[in-house]
Amino acid sequence: MTTSDSSSSPSSSGTESADLNPSSDPGTNSERVQSQLESMNLSQPSEVSDGSHTDYGGGDDDAEEEEEVASANGNEGGVSNGISVREDGLAGASGEEEVEPSSSRAEHPVEMEAGEEPPSPTSSGYDGERGSSGGATSTYKADDASEDEIREANVDGDTASQHEAAWLPGKRHVDEDDASISWRKRKKHFFILSNSGKPIYSRYGDEHKLAGFSATLQAIISFVENGGDRVNLVKAGKHQVVFLVKGPIYLVCISCTDETYEYLRGQLDLLYGQMILILTKSIDRCFEKNAKFDMTPLLGGTEAVFSSLVHSFSWNPATFLHAYTCLPLPFALRQSTGSILQDVCASGVLFALLMCRHKVVSLSGAQKASLHPDDLLLLSNFVMSSESFRTSESFSPICLPRYNPQAFLHAYVHFFDDDTYVMLLTTRSDAFYHLKDCRIRIEAVLLKSNILSTVQRSIAEGGMRVEDLPIDRRLRQKPSSTSNQGQDTSGPERLRDVSVGTGGPFGLWHFMYRSIYLDQYISSEFSPPVTTHRQQKSLYRAYQKLYASMHEKGLGPHKTQYRRDENYSLLCWVTPDFELYAAFDPLADKAMAIKMCNQVCQRVKELENEVFLQGASPFSW
């Protein structure tokens, strides 16, 4: 089904395919559905996709509006773009609530065809909607006009080389609601709501005006839940609607960005984690006491935290690699920073982290305490997106969802300069002065060894560059025998071919190397031709697909994969020690690309003491 080939190491025998997204092919899709249906002995489709409309009134406690949520029938040629509803546990899952995506049944999703339009945001009866009853048609017609879609103006600047800097704090488009054309045209929506349908967060628009829309989402989820089942994914043309249920909290993503289901679900997971980081899981109790509890006031002032996280889904590989990245630094400097952080941890601090933007300079943890890379991502996102931390030293409660979702820790945060900051985490609410003293000790070490200026230089220079990779002489002199690009010219000319022009040697544009043992990754800087934010985003999306297909359960274990389409040649190599993702020019020679990947791995190994944090990491305990 996928275009991957499996072997123990990169070789030149891989197949090539221009199809990056096999599941988007209607033919493949229906075949897959067919076979899955057969394999699961399903004689009848589930209720959700049964019939041309669905009445949710009966299953909805909250519903004053007994309405047809999905009344509009397919208006954009439902022949090939039928809706598939992916559900888990169709066989005997009744009464069982599962929220873990890793459940065994989740590995065998069922996709079903149904001639039914998904819930439209314009079904009648919403608060925010007046006089736009024909809206269903216009909403989904908008899919066809993807070229004209409203783009995130602040994010898509074509000159942004450091795209994390392109993000502006705060929520945008608050004036919108589900009746606004612009709102409906947004490519990617995120919603958090309560199980009574109360809105908690929306990426775009005012939550309170989206009450009707939230109620609809809630109705869909609870309708399926009432049938002893769970809805994970609804596909509607280009749109995917991904659901995640976390106790009384529902999270929904509606996207036409062609990202993988797995990654969108991972994004919802991170969004939930960010909320837990701010409030802890004890919010669940508020819903136990009062099902109609309004959570929005509790999240007051945190819009920037969420919008920054959503933005990071498109630029920060940590969001899908589940690893963290270090600022490249001379080994000795990282060592001396590490040892002062260790000292600090020995004095009763749970975690001590020195960070530069989202990159780790060094970190340490108390004995047996381990920090999950996702917690680190959410923590640095929280600190980096909250402006007030830069103003003065702060002491504030935060929760690490992977460490302990139930309890607050107390975080001392201090910025040494615009980018570099220290975070000291403790369980003791009265430890401020102690942590302040620790910071002073750390600062003294940093000043004495001139570490802060080295850190500044490193962040300005950036990380590894594909252009700087040393080219093995043997590679230069050995033209590939499998070359299919007419490169039978003589040696010197060929050499010029590969070293000038775009990207690094042999058409290497970009790579990411993830050390499995260290939970860390190193990613090369973007270089021409991948320069604009849009190109970078598109490369990351290609990587995400590759990552998802390499980690797909039940099809496993893939070791290498080589894909070629009109945009890139992508190569992925997974070993027990590391994962390598590399992007090449689409016309790059495959054999040379594979050799180049070996070179990259060798180079990373040579530099591992500078680009990775070794030893001191609590991750490895």
Residues that bind other proteins (CB under 8 A): 278-279, 297-302, 304, 382, 386-389, 391-398, 411, 429-434, 436-437, 440
Q: Where are the beta strands (DSSP E) in 118-270?
A: 188-194, 199-202, 230-236, 239-246, 249-255
Q: Residue 8 or 392: which CB sits closer to other proteins? A: 392
Sign of CA dihedral 585, 589, 590, 594: negative
Q: Residue 299 or 366: which CB sits closer to other proteins? A: 299
Q: Residue 297 or 576: which CB sits closer to other proteins? A: 297
Q: Residue 303 or 589: which CB sits closer to other proteins? A: 303
Q: Are 34 and 88 in contact (CB under 8 A)?
A: no
Least separation in angstroms between residue 302's CB and other proteins is 8
Q: Residue 434 or 551: which CB sits closer to other proteins? A: 434
CA-to-CA distance for 332 and 616, rounded, in angstroms?
13
Q: Residue 264 or 411: which CB sits closer to other proteins? A: 411
Helices within 291-410 (DSSP H only):
303-312, 318-321, 331-346, 373-385, 388-391
Collapsing DSSP states into helix, strand and coil, what is residue 498?
helix
Least separation in angstroms between residue 588's CB and other proteins is 47
Q: Residue 260 or 380: which CB sits closer to other proteins? A: 380
Least separation in angstroms between residue 398's CB and other proteins is 8
Least separation in angstroms between residue 430's CB and other proteins is 4
Pairing of strands 83-88, 230-236: antiparallel
Q: Residue 204 or 382: which CB sits closer to other proteins? A: 382
Q: At a CB cut-off of 8 Å and minimum separation 6, what does 443 contact?
A: 416
Token pair for 578:
């590391």
Least separation in angstroms between residue 163's CB and other proteins is 22
Least separation in angstroms between residue 164's CB and other proteins is 19
Question: Considering only CA atoms, which of 381, 440, 372 is closest in space to residue 402?
Answer: 372
CA-to-CA distance for 599 and 603, rounded, in angstroms?
6
Least separation in angstroms between residue 281's CB and other proteins is 14
For residue 34, which amino acid is it?
Q
Least separation in angstroms between residue 174's CB and other proteins is 15
Collapsing DSSP states into helix, strand and coil, what is residue 59?
helix
Q: Residue 147 or 430: which CB sits closer to other proteins? A: 430
Least separation in angstroms between residue 502's CB and other proteins is 41
**Helices vs strands, H then E, count in the chain:** 18, 17
Backbone dihedral region for residue 299 (phi beyond 0: left; psi -120 to 50: alpha; all else: beta): alpha
CA-to-CA distance for 14 and 558, rounded, in angstroms?
12
Least separation in angstroms between residue 409's CB and other proteins is 11
Q: How far is CA 68 from the centre of its chain?
A: 33
State the DSSP H helix or E strand holding residue 84, giving kind and residue range, or none if neither: strand 83-88
State the DSSP H helix or E strand holding residue 442, giving kind and residue range, or none if neither: helix 432-448
CA-to-CA distance for 63 and 59, rounded, in angstroms?
9
Place of tokens 């060592």: 335
CA-to-CA distance for 358 and 326, rounded, in angstroms?
9
Q: Are 184 and 204 in contact (CB under 8 A)?
A: no
CA-to-CA distance for 166 and 156, rounded, in angstroms?
8
Least separation in angstroms between residue 407's CB and other proteins is 13
Q: Residue 56 or 412: which CB sits closer to other proteins? A: 412
DSSP secondary structure of 377-441: HHHHHHHHH-THHHHS-EEEEE--TTT-TTS-EEEEEEESSSSEEEEEEES-TT-HHHHHHHHHH
Q: Residue 363 or 398: which CB sits closer to other proteins? A: 398
Q: Residue 435 or 593: which CB sits closer to other proteins? A: 435
Q: Are 118 and 234 in contact (CB under 8 A)?
A: yes
Place of tokens 């005006």: 209
Q: Residue 322 or 436: which CB sits closer to other proteins? A: 436
Least separation in angstroms between residue 536's CB and other proteins is 28
Q: Residue 283 or 591: which CB sits closer to other proteins? A: 283
Least separation in angstroms between residue 89's CB and other proteins is 35
Least separation in angstroms between residue 414's CB and other proteins is 9
